[in-house]
Chain A
Amino acid sequence: MSAIAVLTTFLFTVIKYNMALLYGTVGEIVTEKSGSLNLGVEGTMAIGGIGGLLVGCAFDNIFVGILASFICASLCGLLFAFLTVTLHANQNVTGLTITTFGLGLYFFIGNGFKASGKWPDMLSTEGFKRGTESLKIPLLNKIPVIGQALFSHSILIYLGIIISVLVWWYFKYTKPGLRIRAIGENPASADAVGVNITLYKYIHLMLGSGIMGIGGLLMAVNLSGSFEGSKCWINGYGWISIALVIFANWNTVAAIVGTLVFGLFNTLQVYGGSLSNAFPKLLGWLSKIPPQFMQALPFIITAIVLVVSSITNKKNNKPAAVGLNYYREDR
């Protein structure tokens, strides 16, 4: 492989294998903007992933799969909303419960299908597999390096970018967006002017979880839909998403940048060696770094991101009422 080809593949991989983080991050931003902290991202993504894959393969259609992943995950959001908004349960505990529950359900369903021999082989499906193949954007994909790295991805990658931009626009330029931000900042103020807080919270908690779920499907597709009995597809990405929310300062467009920065370091783990061979002068030092360090790198980066953002973001955009349940009659 030529040096340029290595670089192109590297950049392509950065996007393909990390874009699931963007879904998790954007979903969590929607959740937090509505004043809730949902720590159940990992479990929600797992449910969305397995639901989307099974239904998508059964109908042999990627769009049905995406819809199914959204719906399955938004049911997790519904559960979270019912527990925290209606029953006023503690948000942290509820979120952790959703992660435990989601992963449990994931293994239960997956192992059940596997044992009965009904687990679908994604690679042999006709329509679903075709839907996951790369969609080259005309003209733009002819640009050297960038064309291959940015403009020849599957629909799931483009959708992630579109959703982030749409969500950003929704919060900034629409009235429901204004209202949900008001709820996240000061629910009493939104309540006093007659905004239906319960309805708004339910809708946005389900929306946020649904977006996370599509990320789960992307991770499943990236692993060709193969189910291992002991390891979940999501593999900690849900937790990293929660950290990325802080890194992105609650801005879904900044989340795209955050995802790429994080993805860059994450991918070095796999491509460090070939990059150092391709560019011996510039990146030769990469091969000297022990692989264990590279494996730990995503988590080290996460820790650094949290430290840096808590130092620099003194005036951050964190919604003021995140994590607090609202009771109207509270005194």
Chain B
Amino acid sequence: MKDQSIYAIELENITKTFGRIVANKNINLNVKQGEILALLGENGSGKTTLMNMLSGIYKPDSGTIKVDGVPVSIHSPEDSKKFGIGMVHQHFKLVEVFSAADNIWMGTEHTGFILKKDRYNKISEISNKFGFEFNPKKLVSNMSVSEKQTLEILRVLYYGAKVIILDEPTAVLTVQEIQKLFDVLRKMKEEGHSIIIITHKLNEVMEISDRVTILRKGEYIDTVNTSETSEQELTDLMVGRKVNLNIQRPVTEFDRPLLEIRNLTIKNDEGSNAIEDVNFYIRGGEILGVAGIAGCGQKELCEAIAGLRKVEKGQINHKGENIVGLAPKTIIEKGISMSFIPEDRLGMGLAPSLSITDNMILKTYRDNKKTPFVDRKTAKAKAEEIIKKLGVVTPSAETPVRRLSGGNVQKVLVGREIDAGPNVIITAYPVRGLDINSSYAIYDILNEQKKNGVGILFVGEDLDVMLALCDKIMVLCHGKLMGVVHAHKTTKEELGLMMTGAKNISEVNGKIAGIAKDSRIQNAEEEDNA
């Protein structure tokens, strides 16, 4: 009998190395039938590597994998599918130009040579069975992130997966969407599916999981029952020492507005409005958070401020001077720095194949005007200073950036931007995918800059963090400003409602949000009117 084993999956003494790097060392992990196991660990602790061995992407060097108590060897995703294991990857593995149905259909077996129209019905049936609302003919490119994730989950269910692995599923979802996802997971659990969920967010671990397995630096630490532990204990196990979980929000003296945005309209690559008639301002010594569902114009806004994207309408005022239309270089020289961490983390700002030193040179090569040659000495000193100050884990300053783990890459990027001594910092998703330790290092860096009177625009994902770190939070919904709220006076639920457009407080009693009383551009406006 299959059901004799209480464990759906057992991993015993799994070891995996990449060259000289040991990603997983003697890991033990097991999942019972019908339970939700959270897999917790910092960046580079080997969580995704371990799960990729279950999904057939990697092969373990040594160790045993058991499915329903029977030892198996998984050589490819095809094998993994046969054993009833399905993985929802962090970066969705979907074909953008296909419909939802075709994305599922391409992996089905024994469904005939010719594509028939009834495949849409078959997929609708399954999705109704699991309680999803779903249009099988919708193209993936027209889907929201949440819909894409639903499709991925539905796909593994359609293939008959009994064990479902979710790699950081909540990183890109809103509060409401996360609750919806958790409802689905609980339902799947009731039906006897086993679920492994990888996440960094401790509150989610506490909410959804039955047990937690903790990895640290590629090694197995412990497995604990969720009901018998606390967030503090989990953090300590994960990091290996006591960690203070409070994010600081130092009180500073606010300055007059440094950066003021008025009636800004920006188009996206497709030519529709990414940002529409938005007003806001940042003072020196303040962190302004930007909340919104992914793809609500955050990227376009950052690019426009940095001078990388054309502004259709409106003003971007820096210390009272309109910087719309200036070259990116001029904007940098005025002290505005931007660091944008895209989903793939390496897409913007750093050249992956170049060393840390060379990446420093990208920004400072103009500084030495005496010789036509590149000044490697100063750059190397700077690189080493950042490595030391921010605790970047790297063999040397000459290591290509792409070989560093995500957190360290981000430290290098943020470190370089701050090194230039800016007065306005635009930072988008600086802690994207980072573990607690690295995240706190980044928050500390930002707070230090804030104390020095720098104005910071913080585009974030995690509302809990934004509520703790930011002074004020502005909310965007489909490129429109829904309002600006004080972080200590608002709640997660209110922000969630504003993000989905259910609540709009951008104009209350005739007072438009995002315009400072002591604006520096009043004079300019009068001139315009005259």
A163 within 8 A of B: no
Q: How far is the CB of A167 from chain B (nearest CB, A)?
A: 15
Q: How far is the CB of A297 from chain B (nearest CB, A)?
A: 35
Q: How far is the CB of B19 from chain A (nearest CB, A)?
A: 12
Q: How far is the CB of B444 from chain A (nearest CB, A)?
A: 29
CA distance A178 to B94 in the complex (A): 13
The answer to whether A182 and B113 touch across the interface, beta carbons within 8 angstroms, is no
The answer to whether A186 and B96 touch across the interface, beta carbons within 8 angstroms, is yes
Within 8 A of B (CB), among A171-216: 172-179, 181-182, 185-186, 188-196
Partner of B111, one of A172, A175, A192: A175
- Nearest chain-A residue to B156 (Cβ)? A193
A328 within 8 A of B: yes
Q: How far is the CB of B352 from chain A (nearest CB, A)?
A: 11
Sample of 8 more A-B contacts, CB < 8 Å, known A173-B114, A175-B114, A194-B77: A175-B106, A175-B113, A179-B106, A192-B55, A192-B87, A193-B77, A194-B81, A320-B96
CA distance A320 to B103 in the complex (A): 16
**Which residues of the partner chain A approach B94 to less than 8 Å between Cβ atoms?**
186, 189
Contact code string B78-98 (vs A, CB < 8 Å = 1, else 0): 101100000101000111111
The answer to whether A193 and B155 touch across the interface, beta carbons within 8 angstroms, is yes
- Nearest chain-A residue to B87 (Cβ)? A192
- Nearest chain-A residue to B403 (Cβ)? A331
CA distance A320 to B57 in the complex (A): 22
Pairs A–B under 8 Å by Cβ, sample size 23: A172-B115, A173-B115, A174-B114, A175-B111, A176-B113, A178-B106, A178-B115, A182-B106, A185-B97, A186-B93, A186-B96, A188-B93, A190-B95, A191-B93, A192-B55, A192-B93, A193-B77, A193-B81, A193-B159, A194-B76, A194-B77, A194-B78, A195-B78
B58 within 8 A of A: yes
The answer to whether B77 and A192 touch across the interface, beta carbons within 8 angstroms, is yes
The answer to whether A193 and B96 touch across the interface, beta carbons within 8 angstroms, is no
CA distance A190 to B95 in the complex (A): 8
What count of chain A residues pass the 8 Å CB interface test?
Answer: 24
Within 8 A of A (CB), among B344-367: none
Given A193-B77, A193-B81, A196-B78: A185 and B106 interface contact (C-beta under 8 Å)? no
The answer to whether A186 and B95 touch across the interface, beta carbons within 8 angstroms, is yes
B102 within 8 A of A: yes
CA distance A192 to B94 in the complex (A): 9
Give 9 nearest A-B pairs by CB, closest first.
A193-B107, A194-B78, A189-B93, A192-B93, A194-B81, A185-B95, A182-B106, A194-B77, A182-B95
Within 8 A of A (CB), among B425-457: none
CA distance A194 to B106 in the complex (A): 9
Contact code string A120-153 (vs B, CB < 8 Å = 1, else 0): 0000000000000000000000000000000000
The answer to whether B77 and A175 touch across the interface, beta carbons within 8 angstroms, is no
The answer to whether B115 and A329 touch across the interface, beta carbons within 8 angstroms, is no
Partner of A174, one of B55, B95, B108, B115: B115
- Nearest chain-A residue to B103 (Cβ)? A189
CA distance A328 to B80 in the complex (A): 15
Given A189-B93, A192-B89: A178 and B105 interface contact (C-beta under 8 Å)? yes
**Which residues of the partner chain A approach B89 to less than 8 Å between Cβ atoms?**
192
The answer to whether B96 and A185 touch across the interface, beta carbons within 8 angstroms, is yes
Contact code string B51-90 (vs A, CB < 8 Å = 1, else 0): 0000101100000000000000000111011000001010
CA distance A196 to B106 in the complex (A): 11
**Which residues of the partner chain B approach A179 to less than 8 Å between Cβ atoms?**
106
Q: How far is the CB of B375 from chain A (nearest CB, A)?
A: 32
CA distance A328 to B108 in the complex (A): 20
Partner of B106, one of A188, A195, A328, A329: A195
The answer to whether B77 and A185 touch across the interface, beta carbons within 8 angstroms, is no
Partner of A329, one of B58, B95, B102: B58
CA distance A182 to B114 in the complex (A): 16
The answer to whether B105 and A195 touch across the interface, beta carbons within 8 angstroms, is no
- Nearest chain-A residue to B52 (Cβ)? A329
Q: How far is the CB of B346 from chain A (nearest CB, A)?
A: 11
The answer to whether B112 and A175 touch across the interface, beta carbons within 8 angstroms, is yes
**Which residues of the partner chain B approach A196 to less than 8 Å between Cβ atoms?**
76, 78
**Which residues of the partner chain B approach A181 to less than 8 Å between Cβ atoms?**
95, 98
**Which residues of the partner chain A approach B78 to less than 8 Å between Cβ atoms?**
194-196
Partner of A194, one of B97, B107, B112, B115: B107
CA distance A195 to B55 in the complex (A): 13
CA distance A192 to B156 in the complex (A): 10
CA distance A186 to B93 in the complex (A): 8
The answer to whether B107 and A195 touch across the interface, beta carbons within 8 angstroms, is yes
CA distance A172 to B93 in the complex (A): 21
CA distance A331 to B441 in the complex (A): 25
**Which residues of the partner chain A approach B95 to less than 8 Å between Cβ atoms?**
181-182, 185-186, 189-190
Q: How far is the CB of B167 from chain A (nearest CB, A)?
A: 12
CA distance A311 to B227 in the complex (A): 61
The answer to whether A175 and B115 touch across the interface, beta carbons within 8 angstroms, is yes
Q: How far is the CB of A84 from chain B (nearest CB, A)?
A: 20
